[in-house]
Amino acid sequence: LQVCSEVLRQKFFSEVCDRPHILFVRGHLRGLQIVLKNMLVLFETPAGFAVFKLLDENKLRNVDNIWEEFSTAERAQQCLKLISFKKFKDTAEALESINHLNEGKLGKTLKKVLKNKVEESENLAVGDTKLGSIIKEKLNVKCVSNAATAELMRGIRAHLDSLLGEHKQEMAAMNLALAHSLGRYKVKFDPDKIDTMIVQAVSLLDDIDKELNNYIMRCREWYGWHFPELGKIIQDHQAYAKVVRALGLRQNAEKMDLSSILPEELEARVKDEAEISTGCDISDSDLASIKQLCDQVIALSAYRAQLAEYLKNRMAALAPNLTVLLGELVGARLISHAGSLMNLAKYPASTVQILGAEKALFRALKTKRDTPKYGIIYHAQLIGQASAKTKGKLARKLAAKVSLATRIDALADESQGSQMGTECRAYLEAVVRSEQERGAKRISGVPTAHEPYHFKSEVFDYDAAADSTIKKERKRKGLDEKNEDKANTYANGGTAHKRFKGEVEDVPATPKEGQEKKKKIKMEEVEPIDEDEGMLCERATKSNAPSLVVVADGKMKKEPEDEE
């Protein structure tokens, strides 16, 4: 109050005088606590809602000294008096009321208690500020929630049994029952739907497979020094360990009965190979160590089979639709990789499709290559049945159905069984069959008819006339042929072409040996080129004289001589 101005101090004291229920402690701001007369206290218990009345407010002036007033049950009863205690009918009603309080809502039971026991003129102390604001909004009741009320709630909680008059054992039982119910509601708890067990079981199964493989390889290599042929005869690891455990030294194979472990054919082969084996002898101590290792392999194999059966049952209870689609092992690996069934349900189908191929995905993105088409889902039976070309297409469809099945398994209120998974698997199997039939038709279909192929030989006949170096004689058209061509042109509606040179026709010459080609001088008649222009063109061909051509402008041009 020392930091306040004089005007504010006078105003503050005037308001205090109008409200005599406001008390001051120690006269400074640190010790200032406000306690209301005619105050009621609301306290929530696992058994019901309790309403207390504050008897002596003077004892609660200092927050630091409130706990002293609740040091014993007798002193607590001198401070508080029970006005009303509304018990819950059953655990379901208690769970509903507690859930409403946690969500910041006013439940029906609490609303009924406050309407019957609290008047608008009275003040109500509550432990939650949000609850106090809701009560004030809904019922128009003034609520107080501060440090003093928090210490008051602490004292009531310490002596709740004596204040309510209930037995301590009954209150503890109701508290435990409500705690379990609330926990189940929060996590939607179902004893058969604990995905943590699935994650641990499939991880342990993978570890057992690795250890079992190391043990059996060590056993085969160790016993192979004594009986190397046995490893080639028996391929099953568990049967091999049992035979080594029962057989001991290979010399005992002739009189040993192995019919309970091996079929008759393999038993006969083992006995025959034992007689002619090339292995070395081993001591009894070495054989004892090998037998102990075989015992470990047999026990570990039995536990592995038991764990696989446990995982199968758990997957059928936790995710029946996912199990029908992928199988218990692949489905469990998907859940383990995602972390939980709920996390897997949140993934889209595209993520489910490549789940488990993260390294290949990021490597493809880094190198700008094609991304992978499938991850863990590749090991599903449906993907294995598809052809190589349709695996990617079927993986997309299977991932979409797996995403739907996982959401049903994780978020369905009641167990719907594996009906949806069965329907989706039937659809995918039909897709696989249709793809296989389409591929079979493509293979067995009649091909289209093609024209027969004729081989084109690259061998040609040799033309002997091509060896001659003599110039071929040009044969020119006669006057009759040219007039005939001109008449055909006019008959077709065309115009006469101007010809300045006669058309030349090549005539192959086949000279005889020892004879020279004689050049002939042929005189051609004058041919009219164009009647309108009145121009004439003459051409004379002589053996030793060059040709002269008369063109339209009246000039003479000399034509080059023919080369021999």
pLDDT given for residue 78 in this prediction: 81
pLDDT given for residue 254 in this prediction: 84
pLDDT given for residue 416 in this prediction: 73
Say yes or no to pLDDT of 46 above 90. no
State the average pLDDT over residues 504-522. 47
Q: 240-294, pLDDT tens digit by residue?
A: 999 999 988 888 888 888 888 889 899 899 989 988 888 888 888 999 999 999 9
Q: 337-375, pLDDT tens digit by residue?
A: 998 898 999 999 999 999 988 898 899 999 999 888 889
What average pLDDT does the chain have?
76
pLDDT given for residue 127 in this prediction: 84
Enumerate the domain spans of the chain: 33-187, 196-309, 319-439, 525-564
Q: Which helix (H) or strand (E) holds 476?
A: strand 473-476
Fold entry, domain 319-439: Serum Albumin; Chain A, Domain 1 (1.10.246)
The helix, strand and coil proportions of the chain, stated in percent and rounded to the nearest 5, come to 55, 10, 35
Say yes or no to pLDDT of 4 above 50. no
pLDDT given for residue 547 in this prediction: 46
> Of 136, 142, 123, 145, nearest to 52 (Cα)?
123
pLDDT given for residue 1 in this prediction: 40
pLDDT level of residue 146 (50, 70, 90 thresholds) = confident
Beta bridge partners of residue 86, listed in sequence order: 49
pLDDT given for residue 424 in this prediction: 92
State the average pLDDT over residues 28-54. 69
Exposed / middle / buried, residue 45 (Cβ in 10 Å: 0-12, 13-18, 19+): buried
Say yes or no to pLDDT of 109 above 70. yes
pLDDT level of residue 538 (50, 70, 90 thresholds) = very low
pLDDT given for residue 474 in this prediction: 61
Say yes or no to pLDDT of 549 above 60. no
Fold entry, domain 196-309: Helix Hairpins (1.10.287)
Exposed / middle / buried, residue 359 (Cβ in 10 Å: 0-12, 13-18, 19+): exposed
Residues 60, 66 contacting (CB under 8 angstroms): yes
Q: Which CATH code fits 33-187? A: 3.30.420.220
Other Cβ atoms within 10 Å of 175 Cβ, number: 13
